[in-house]
Amino acid sequence: MTKQGGRYASRIGPTGIMGALGLLLLLFLAACGPVIWGADASHLDVAAAQQGPSARHLLGTDSLGRDMFARVMAGARLSLILAVLATALGSAAGVLLGAFPTVLGRRGRRAWESAMNTAIAFPALLLALCVATVAGVGAKGAVLALALATAPNYARLTYTLASSVSGSDYVSAARMLGVSRARLMLRHVLPNIAEPLIVTTTLQVGGMLIALSGLSFLGLGVQPPSYDWGRLLSENVNRIYTAPAAALGPGVAIVVAGLVFNALGETAAALVRDDAASSARDARPRRFAGARRRTTAGGLPRAGTTAQQTAVPAAGPDAYALRVHDLRVLFPGPAGPVHTVRGVTLDVRHGETVGIVGESGSGKTLTAMAIAGLVPEPGQVTADRLEIAGRDPGTLRAPERRRLLGSTTAVVFQDPLSSFNPALKMGRQLTEASEAHLGLPHAEAIRLAQDRLKQVRVPSPAIRMAQYPHELSGGMRQRAMIAMGLMGKPELIIADEPTTALDVTVQEQIVRLLGRINEDTGAAVLMISHDISVVTSLCRRVVVMYAGRIVEDVAVGSLLDGPAHPYTEALLAAVPHMGNDRDQPLATIPGRPPQSLELPPGCAFAPRCRFVSDKCRGEQPPLEFRDGRRVACWHPRPPSPADRTDTTTTKAGPA
């Protein structure tokens, strides 16, 4: 037995072993029951009618003298086949129905949810009885009725599971590569929800067997001369006090078979739970694993409000990899709309490296996700202008938009593990977009993927492509994610905290890799980080965000000479460096960033700023171009450090 096989066997436990043995017995009965006992089961012997148990007739005989034991054994085949058939039909219809909303818009999904909730609220057995009566009394009608009655439950389960998976980074990554909705569902969502669906289906077979027996018992299922356990029970139940064995035989068979399927389902569920727990343990060192990321569908910007901020200096129309003017993202909330990104204007030239920095919650990620069309619902995105590589994705039809984003933009997410589909090998994920968009033959797509992996210095690309994401180290996965972005010809690489989940040495390698790709391919890089020192090591320009707005946009050289916004100054002062006096506590920024719902009327940084004036509290400063940078402050700091005497930071005392 392999190591893996041994590990599973040791985790199956007594319930699983009983279930497995029971399943073998049921399979044997289904395959051989009618062959071995079929003749006895239908042999009429009126002289021996209605006998009690004896050595010849273990369970006695029925009213026509047929051997009840033989009938119970031979009846197993029809009982089991009908239960499996009804479960298969119900689950297949339910999964299809549950996957359907993924191709619907928001309104369509709402209507679907209401329809499903109504269908689920209707009692399943009552529905089955109605359908069985309408579809015709008999085995076919009973199977159809029960399949129809269980489909809505499956549909809702599939929908709920699919919705949770669609929020994961790897689905966003695949969406970003332009993978169509149907393909997303088939290759990325369904394989990852298969386990709970299989567990539910196994449990369902037992329930279905009991329900079908119930319909046969009521005379709505299997009709004579055919018989299943429910039918046998119904024919002999009137003798329960005189010859109980004849009635108890089929009853016990139903209960035992139900228990076998329950034991199998429970064992499968326990194995799935164990696997989930061990993957969670494996993932623990990745600091933010699972805490992220609200990126699923979400609209692309529509033209909306007027620009309120000063754009960066003019350049030719072809000079930009990205142009975004007055970008806004809001989420409807119980206390009114929550404005999370509030009028961001940002142009990135071809080949430029721009870093977005700011504390947690400043709107960095949502800005990037809005650009990539990945803001989760119910987020609403508007912009005066949004162009990637000179084209506005908002004006394109869905397939063209997918193609544009998939071929011109690459997104590197924070957690390299959650960015890949755990159910697919690396090779399939890397080649997917180029096969779908560029129409490359499979062999060529594989060659391209291997080239790209080499380009990002992943050793032995052919071996890596045959592995699953969890078999690669964190740094290697992040390189592979970058390679995946390079499968097209990206003009813009959006890297959302690409190093946060990695250890320090690997962080440095990834930052260097992004720099090299920028030089080699000329792709612009938009790097998001809360660590200003990581950004300055890669980027030539730094955009500082606070409370959903840009407060300073400055070249790295000028920034190191001296920041203009007190918030930028405070961020820089809070970076620990080798020159720090170890006896002194680290500098921190006093106070905390405002919540999106409680933004002050004036400058959002005012409550934490040492240079605050009445004007700051009352009026929001516009983002204005001055001294070669953009800054939103009523009291910008002098450009030269020599002119400064104050600091906005305080020293954190020892705990």
- The span from the CA of 433 to the CA of 454, in Å, is 18
For CA atoms 225, 228, 230, 232, the dihedral sign is positive
Regarding 358 and contact with ligand ATP (CB under 6 A), the answer is yes
Interface residue with ligand ATP among 16, 94, 251, 361 (CB under 6 A) is 361
N- to C-terminal Cα distance for the chain?
A: 55
Residues with Cβ < 8 Å from 458, sequence gap 6 or more?
464, 476, 479, 480, 483
- The span from the CA of 503 to the CA of 332, in Å, is 37
Query: Quick one: 213 or 596, whose CB is closer to ligand ATP?
Result: 596
Give least dist CB 413 to ligand ATP, A: 11
Interface residue with ligand ATP among 75, 141, 343, 363 (CB under 6 A) is 363
Do 197 and 246 meet the contact criterion of CB atoms below 8 Å apart?
no
Give least dist CB 545 to ligand ATP, A: 7
Window contacting ligand ATP (CB under 6 A); options: 95-103, 361-369, 448-456, 536-544? 361-369
Give least dist CB 361 to ligand ATP, A: 4
Reading the block at residue 84, the tokens are 């499996």
Window contacting ligand ATP (CB under 6 A); options: 150-158, 355-363, 389-397, 433-441? 355-363
Query: Quick one: 362 or 649, whose CB is closer to ligand ATP?
Result: 362
Give least dist CB 547 to ligand ATP, A: 9
Interface residue with ligand ATP among 109, 183, 239, 294 (CB under 6 A) is 294
Contact set for ligand ATP, span 534-553 (CB under 6 A):
none
Regarding 530 and contact with ligand ATP (CB under 6 A), the answer is yes
Give least dist CB 337 to ligand ATP, A: 10
For CA atoms 54, 60, 63, 67, the dihedral sign is negative
- The span from the CA of 270 to the CA of 284, in Å, is 21
312-319 contact pairs (CB < 8 A, 24+): 312/345, 312/346, 312/347, 312/553, 312/625, 312/630, 313/625, 315/347, 315/349, 317/390, 318/350, 318/390, 319/349, 319/350
Interface residue with ligand ATP among 365, 429, 450, 507 (CB under 6 A) is 365
Regarding 366 and contact with ligand ATP (CB under 6 A), the answer is yes
Number of residues binding to ligand ATP, judged by CB under 6 A: 16
Output the CA–CA distances (angstroms, integers) from residue 619 to 342, 510, 550, in the order listed.
Answer: 15, 41, 16
Window 372-391: contact mask with ligand ATP (x via CB under 6 A): ----x--x------------
Residues with Cβ < 8 Å from 614, sequence gap 6 or more?
none
Window contacting ligand ATP (CB under 6 A); options: 131-139, 195-203, 359-367, 423-431? 359-367
Query: For residue 497, which phi and psi values (nearest 5 degrees)?
Result: 45, 60
Regarding 622 and contact with ligand ATP (CB under 6 A), the answer is no
Contact set for ligand ATP, span 436-495 (CB under 6 A):
none
- The span from the CA of 42 to the CA of 65, in Å, is 9
Give least dist CB 286 to ligand ATP, A: 15
Contact set for ligand ATP, span 298-337 (CB under 6 A):
331
Do 418 and 290 meet the contact criterion of CB atoms below 8 Å apart?
yes
Give least dist CB 564 to ligand ATP, A: 21
Binding site for ligand ATP (CB under 6 A): 294, 331, 338, 340, 358, 360-366, 376, 379, 530, 596
